[in-house]
Structure formats: C-alpha cells, structure tokens
Amino acid sequence: MKKEQKGFSQKKKIIIAVSAVVVAVAVLVLILVLCLPKRPEEQKNPTNTEHVWGEWETFKQATCTERGELRRTCTQCEEYETMPQKELGHMLDPKTEQVKQPATCLVAGIMQGRCSRCGQIAERLIDALGHNMEWSIDGETHVKKCSRCNQQEGTPEKHVFNEAGQCSECGYTKQTNKYYVLSKDGSTLTFGSYPQSEVTDNALISNLNAEIQNKLPSSDDLNGWTDYGYYIQGKVKSYMWFIDVEYKSDKYRGVYFTEYRPQHVGYGTGISNSKQDDNGYTVEKVYWFKFEPITWRILKQEDGKAFVVANIILDSREFDAFGSNNYATSEIRQWLNDVFLKTAFVDLEEYIIVTKVDNSADSTGVPDNGNVCEDTEDKVFLLSYEEVSNEDFGFDFGTRKLQSTDYAKVQGVNKISSGNGYWLLRSPSSDTTYDVRAVHTSGAVVDERRMSETSCGIVPALYMVL
C-alpha cells in the first residue's frame, strides 16, 4: 500500500513540474508579444486610411555632377516617398567657350569652357553639321557633292538640256560662245567690261601710281590723262580726268579731280553742290577702279538674240546739258553709242545688234505725251517707261532698285544710305520739256529728274547675239 502511494506522489510531482514549465513558457510568449514593435501602418497610420500626399519638396539639391532628391510626406501620418532628381549638368559660360574639336558633317564636335554654376572646366557636344549637298557641274555632267567634306551623292550624270540649252536637273546653261558667259540659271550673263570696283590694296595702288610715274594732270598739261569735259556753272571746265592702265593682265582706270563735280551742269563747284564727297571721294587724290565684266539681266531671249540691261548703275551723267528731253538729240544717247560702247566692248561691237528703239508716246506711259521724239536706231540705249513697267521682263518695285558701282559713286551718282541710286530712262516727262522719267531709289518710276542733273545713274541696255 505504501508502495502505491509513493508511486502516485512521484507522478503528481512530474505533472506539477510540467504544468509549471507550460505556464512559464506561456507567460514568456505573452511578454514577447506585448514587447514587440507595432507594424508601420499601425504605428504611423493609426486610423489605417489611404495616404494623402503633400507637394514634392527638395530634400537634397542637385548639383552639376550629383543627383538631388525630392520628398513628399503624407498629411495623415509621417510616411514619405522619395524621387531622384537628375544631376544638372555643366552649363558653359559662352564667354569662356572654345572649340576643342570641330564638328564635321558626320561627327559631333566638342566645346570646352568654364561652368557658370560650379566654375569647373567642362565640355559639351556640338551637333554634327550634316552634309550640305550642292551641284558640282562641268560642261558635260553634274553630281551632288557636299560643300564641306566633298562626299559625292551617286555618280556624275550627263546634262539633259531643254530647247533653251538649260539642264532640267541642275539648271546649268550650255555655254555656246566665248565672248559672254551665262549664269547657271540662265537669268544673267557677263559681256564686256567697265571700271567698277575701287582698288583698296595699298601695294597695288602704289604699283599703279608707279605705272603712270606718279604724274598728275592739270588744265595746262594732261600728262597722258583724258579730260572728262564736265561742266561747272554751265561751261566745260578742265578739272576732272581719267587714265587707263594695264597691269599684270588686268585693266584699271585712275580718276583725279581738283574741284567737286556739281550735281547740275549749271551749279558751281563745292561740297554743298556735289555728291562726290557724300560718296566718300575728295579732291586732289588719285582713285583707281578695276575693269570688271559687266553683268546683264536677260529680259527677253528669242531667235538667237537677247534683250539685256545692266544689273547695276555703271556711271553717272546728265541726260542733256542744255537741250531738251528729246532722246534722239540728247547727249546721253551720243555718249552711250560712242564713249561707253568703245570703252565697254573692245573687239566685241560686232555682237551687239543695231536696234530700232521705240520712242513713241506709248513707250513713255502717257498716250498723249507731246514731248516724244522719233524712233532711233542704236546699239546701246536707255530703257523706256513701258519697258521698266513690263512684268514679263521681271520688273517690279524690288527689281527696279539698283545699287551703284564705286566708279559711279566717284562720278557723283545720287544714292541713299542703302546704296540704291536714281537711274535715268529715255522717256520724257509729259509736263515739261526739261524733265525726264527716272527710277527712284524706292523702285518707283518718277518724272522728277531734270535733264541737266549730273547725279543720275546710267543703266545701259542693248540687244546682243547669242
């Protein structure tokens, strides 16, 4: 009996011990659970609602080389989000920029300079230029080539000429004569020559002066120069001269004057009465001008001939000193067909066609104009009102505006700051016998030019053999 009681007592002790361990473990687990941190959403968002985000704000400012950071915070809790901000990159100060490696047609270049933000030396890329394809043309073929790197597009192909002798692909016009040269688009040609651009190279000026042994003309001794025969106060006076010199296969004209040419044949000399000083030319100094090919606009082309007019004011002269606005008897008509013709077309006169020039009232733009003269036959002539108003010839306000050569400026042509000058027509005014029609610097046709004004530009026209 005692033995059974003893065994039961041992079992009871074991049960109690196990129970105590279980209780201890349970208590420990409870303590751990109570001590663990809450989940973030429970800790930061106790109401367990959706986040309501605020505005993005700069948390870390980006620099030229380092990223920045933007942050926005929930207005309901302390939760936040981040977003990277791209580095700014260097911004070169234009004043410090220098080309380190030039760009080519296909390869980007490199520009180096100092960053205006951080002060460091940095670089940026220059975009590749890309090809600039233009026609490369000879007398037989055309092909497009890059004007920068000379890369060729395809192979050269032969010109396809139309009836006018112009290639329908590249615009090249067939060259058929050696005495004139057509432009590629066939709208202009060069023919003859006349003094135009002023020589500004001091070494060349010295050499040209040496060619004439530095001899100057005077009213008593021309020293090889030619007197222009210009007027002062209504009388021809010896005060302005020219001389032509050939030097190293080029031709030049020297101009020298001791008094200012008045802008009207009846005026006295002096700065106030002349346009020469306005154009930058002064007395007692030799000026040199180079003979250059004359460029002519083609107004009409048919039956192997072309009607052309100079595309620039070549000279400055009066229509007539003391006569009337009668073109047939005018000094300008005589000068064009004598002095100008022989100067501009040495050995080329045979290619200029004698033309019946229309001087009718219709050509003046006034059907009842009582100041008209008979038709004339000339090699060189001035345009009429009807011709400069003809849209078929390509004339309008814009195309009638003409610049002046330097040689016309030394003669005292009347021009404005833009360089556009007045130029004479052969058509008389219908109101008076002493006014002629002219083209204004604005391109308008006017009646305001007196026949005896020396400051009017001369723009010759002619028919020529093609």
Q: What is the pLDDT of residues 284-309, one digit of tens each?
A: 999 999 999 999 999 999 888 999 99
CA-atom Rg of the chain in angstroms: 46
Domain boundaries, the chain: 51-85, 94-126, 131-174, 180-465
pLDDT at position 20, please? 72
For the segment 95-118, the average pLDDT, to the nearest whole number, is 91
In 3D, which of 283, 286, 292, 282 has the Cα closest to residue 209? 286
pLDDT at position 225, please? 98
DSSP string, 137-192: E-SSEEEEEETTT--EEEEEEE--B-TTSBBTTT--B----SSEEE-TTSSEEEEE
pLDDT at position 34, please? 52
CA separation for the pair 399, 402 (Å, rounded):
8
Residue 25 clears pLDDT 60, i.e. is over it: yes
pLDDT at position 40, please? 46
3-state secondary structure of 60: strand
Residue 282 clears pLDDT 90, i.e. is over it: yes
pLDDT at position 42, please? 45
Residue 110 clears pLDDT 70, i.e. is over it: yes
Sign of torsion over alpha carbons 364, 369, 370, 375: positive
The whole-model pTM stands at 0.66
CA separation for the pair 214, 335 (Å, rounded):
29
- State residue 160 phi and psi, 5-degree precision: -115, 100
pLDDT at position 397, please? 93
pLDDT-derived band at 43, boundaries 50, 70, 90: very low
**Of all residues in the chain, what percent carry a pLDDT higher than 90?**
68
Q: What is the pLDDT of residues 62-78, one digit of tens each?
A: 899 899 999 999 988 88
Q: What is the pLDDT of residues 410-419, one digit of tens each?
A: 999 999 988 8
Query: CA distances (Å), 212 to each of 147, 400, 452, in order?
Result: 43, 39, 34
Q: In the chain, what's the furthest Cα-to-Cα distance?
A: 178
Q: What is the pLDDT of residues 142-193, one digit of tens each?
A: 999 998 888 999 999 999 988 777 888 898 877 666 799 999 888 999 999 9
Tokens standing for residue 21: 């361990």
CA separation for the pair 243, 258 (Å, rounded):
15
CA separation for the pair 104, 147 (Å, rounded):
12
pLDDT-derived band at 449, boundaries 50, 70, 90: confident
